[in-house]
Amino acid sequence: MTDTNILTDKYGRKHSYLRISLTERCNLRCTYCMPEHGVAVSPWGKLMSPDEVFEIAKRFVGMGVTKIRLTGGEPLVRKDFGQILEKLSTLDVELSLTSNAVIIDRYIDQLKAAGIKTVNISLDSLHPTKFKTITRRDNFDKVKQNIDKLIQEGFKVKINCVLIKGFNDNEIIDFIRYTQNNPVTVRFIEFMPFDGNRWNRDKLVSHEEILNMAFAEWSATGVERLVDEAHDTSRNYSVHGFQGSFAIISTVTNPFCDSCNRIRLTANGRIKNCLFSNSEVDLLTTFREGGDITPLVAQAIQAKAPIRGGMSTDESFSDPNNYNQNRSMIAIGG
Ligand code: SAM
Ligand code: SF4
C-alpha cells in the first residue's frame, strides 16, 4: 500500500479531512454534548503535546490529508493552543476551527496569522436564558459579541445550531432571519445520541419540517436551494435577498456516509473512524515508543463501516445499547 492510498477504505472513500480534538475539557457544559455528571478526562500526560499533535498531523498530511479542523471539547481552553496552531500552520493544509467562541476574541490575530479563514461557532439559542439552560453557563452576551467580532474581522462564520424539538425548534425562523443582515451560514444540526445525553427520536426535527417552516415564512419560491460543496454534510439554502444562508445536517435520518471523507483523532491520540463507531485505534502509544503509526491508520480506515459506524438501519437507534457505549461528543471531538 502506498502512502497515498492508506486513507482509502474498502468502499473507495478517500479520507482527506482530519478533525483533531485538542482537549476533552470545556468552558461550557452543553446538555446534548456531555452528561450531567461530566466526563472522565484523560490525565494531562495522556494527551498529545503540541509536538505530538504536529508530528502526527504531519504523517497524515503525508498520507493525503488536505484539510484539518481543530475541535474538542473547547480547543481554545488549551493554554498551548497558540503554539499548536503556529506549528500546524506550517503544514500544507486548509486549517479550520470549531469553537464555542467564549474566549475567541483573544485569538483573532493568531487565527489570522495561521491562515484560518472559516470558523464554526456553536450557538443553539438567540435567547440568553435558553442559552444558559442548554450550555449550563451564562456566556450568551460574550458569544454573541464574539460572533459579531469574527464577522467584522472578515472570517467566514458558520453557526452550528443543534435542534432539539420542544426546546429551540421555535427559533428556526429567527435563526434564518438572522442571516438577512449577517453574512453567516446557520447550520441546523440533528441531535445525535451519545452516552448519557437523553437522546430520543421524538426530539429530532426533520429536514422537511425545517424547510416547511421556511416555505411558510418566505414561500417555496423565496427559498433557494444552493449548490453543496463536494463532501458537504449539509444541504444548503438561502432566502432571496438575504446576505447569509442556512443549511440542514441530518446525520441521523439522512446520513452522508457514502461520501464521507472524515477521520477523527481524539485528544489522547486515538483514531475514531466514524462518530458513531464504538471502536478506537490508539496511535499515541506507538508513536511515543518510536513505532510506525501507518499500519494502525490503515487498520482503522479498513475497519470503517459503510454506514454510521455499523448502525445501518433506523431501528438501530431504538436500542440505546447501540450508542450508549459511544463516548460523549465532548470526548470524541465534534
Ligand atoms: N466546543 C466547540 C463547539 O461547541 O463548537 C467544539 C466541540 S463541539 C463537540 C463540536 C460540535 O459538536 C458543536 O457544534 C456541537 O453543537 C456539536 N455536538 C455536540 N454534541 C452533539 C449532539 N449530541 N448532536 C449533534 N451535535 C452535537
Ligand atoms: Fe463544550 Fe462544544 Fe460540547 Fe458545548 S458542544 S459542551 S461548547 S464541547
Q: Which pLDDT value is given to residue 87?
A: 98
Nearest ligand 2 atom to alpha carbon 74: 8
Every domain of the chain and the residues it spans: 17-156+256-332
Please state, rounded to an integer, the average pLDDT across all residues of the chain: 91
In sequence order, what are the residues at sequence separation of 6 or more whose Cβ sits closer than 8 angstroms to the Cβ of residue 268?
24, 42, 46, 47, 48, 284
pLDDT tens digit sequence for 106-153: 999 999 999 999 999 999 999 999 999 999 999 999 999 999 999 999
Structural class in CATH, domain 17-156+256-332? alpha beta
pLDDT tens digit sequence for 235-274: 999 999 999 999 999 888 876 788 889 999 999 999 999 9
Q: What Cα–Cα distance (Å) separates residue 191 from each residue in 100, 102, 249?
A: 17, 22, 10
Q: Which pLDDT value is given to residue 89?
A: 98
pLDDT tens digit sequence for 74-111: 999 999 999 999 999 999 999 999 999 999 999 999 99
Does ligand 1 come within 6 angstroms of the Cβ of 160?
Answer: yes
Query: d(Cα 88, Cα 67) in Å, to the nearest integer?
Result: 11
Q: Which pLDDT value is given to residue 320?
A: 62
Query: d(Cα 2, Cα 258) in Å, to the nearest integer?
Result: 23
Closest ligand to residue 21's CA: 1
Distance 33 CA to ligand 1 centre (A): 6
Does ligand 1 come within 6 angstroms of the Cβ of 250?
Answer: no
In sequence order, what are the residues at sequence separation of 6 or more whose Cβ sits closer than 8 angstroms to the Cβ of residue 304?
9, 11, 13, 273, 274, 277
229 backbone dihedrals φ, ψ, rounded to 5°: -80, 160
In sequence order, what are the residues at sequence separation of 6 or more whose Cβ sits closer than 8 angstroms to the Cβ of residue 219?
none
Distance 55 CA to ligand 1 centre (A): 26
With 0-12 / 13-18 / 19 or more C-beta atoms within 10 angstroms meaning exposed / middle / buried, residue 42 is: middle
